Amino acid sequence: MGKDLKNRELGVGISQRKDGLYTGRFVSKRTGKRVQRYFPKLQECRNWLADAVFQDEHGGIDASGDMTVTAWFEYWIENIKGDSIRPNTVRNYKERFQHNIKKCIGNMLLSDVKPMHCQNVLNQMKDDYKTSTIYQTRIALYCMFSDAVENDIINKNPVTKAVKYNIGKEPKKVRALTIDEQKKFLETAVNSSNYNQFAFLLQTGLRTGELIGLKWSDIDWGKKVVHIRRSMEYRYSVGEWIIGEPKSKSGYRDVPLTDEAISILKNQREKLKSIKVINLEHKDYIFLCRKGEPTKNSAYDSTLFKLCEKAGIEKFSMHVLRHTFGTRCIEAGMRPKTLQIILGHSNVGITMNLYVHVTEDEKQKEVERIEKALKIV
């Protein structure tokens, strides 16, 4: 604790010289050297010391390549990315940084990070994470360093082609219900409070967040399509509903409605009449629970697990209903490109990879159907 000329305590790192000037000093955690400045007024000295210590510990935009990776990430995510990316993307970047990147290279200076350090971040994930999550971490690394290059903070992006991500645990194959399982499930679920939601997904292939965010104004009864314009989910961390854009640009789409889907919507409209109180903020939403508000994401899966147990089939999540819709479409002969547009995949490769086993099976069946015609002699 430093003191002034009257022997009064001034606080850590501050003292007063005989000539009346106040001295602020601290030892830099980044360089190990003492940093010191003089001020005629005590408050000026205190303000400088607080700012200088904070910037030394967390970095600052003026620090260039000498700022830490953590300091750059915090500045980058708030000031450079800001509102230019979707809320879900921001959340993913933050999660990957907090859980995987920070502990490995967070305290390193930006200018010191090399490809081997980035690879080490991913290597430490391989035993506990799926390849898809490791890939997301690589994307976060690449983007944050790419913007550092763009802003002349560093000269080169350390996330080079040599930094590999396909080292994680093999992802589980996405499951689809068989036709028999689908029948059993629907027969069991018919009297459940969320039957319309489950049945609607099996007719449209929407993502859960897209289903939750559906409004009556999104339905075009004349053209028999539903406009997908938003995604909605309940965030327990903040205790509120978050409304955002669809997963990608291709998520904005018009999904054709089958006669069965139209019937489900009409049933749902009648069902809503029995709800005594509907919150004003949710009055235009289609799928509401008895409380007059949307059903939380986790509640859907909880209900599904109970219904599966009752039906005597293997437990599955909401996403399986979407995948089951896609599988039925391919089995019925729908072209993958058409299915890509309906599901909102960003490219047809994603669709092909998901349903390649179905297309292979159908290909074999098609050849068997024309086998006699192929046999000339």
Of 40, 78, 74, 79, the C-alpha closest to 59 is 74
Rounded to whole angstroms, the Cα distance separating 247 from 249 reads 7
Q: Which residues pair with 16 in a beta bridge?
A: 22
- In a structure prediction context, what are the per-residue pLDDT tens digits for the chain, which is 377 residues long? 678 888 888 888 898 988 888 888 888 876 777 888 888 888 888 888 887 787 777 654 554 557 889 999 998 998 888 767 777 788 889 999 999 999 999 999 998 999 999 999 999 999 889 888 999 999 999 999 999 998 888 989 999 999 998 887 766 677 899 999 999 999 999 999 999 999 999 999 999 999 999 999 999 999 999 999 999 988 887 788 888 888 778 899 999 999 999 999 999 999 999 998 888 889 999 999 989 999 998 899 999 999 999 999 999 999 999 999 999 998 888 888 999 999 998 888 878 877 766 656 666 666 666 666 666 65
Which amino acid belongs to residue 112?
Answer: D
Rg over alpha carbons for the chain, rounded to the nearest Å, is: 29
Q: Residues 46, 56: contact at Cβ < 8 Å?
A: no
Entry field: residues in the chain: 377
Q: Residues 262, 203: contact at Cβ < 8 Å?
A: no
Give the C-alpha distances (Å, rounded to integers) separating 59 from 33, 71, 103, 206, 328.
Answer: 16, 5, 17, 44, 54
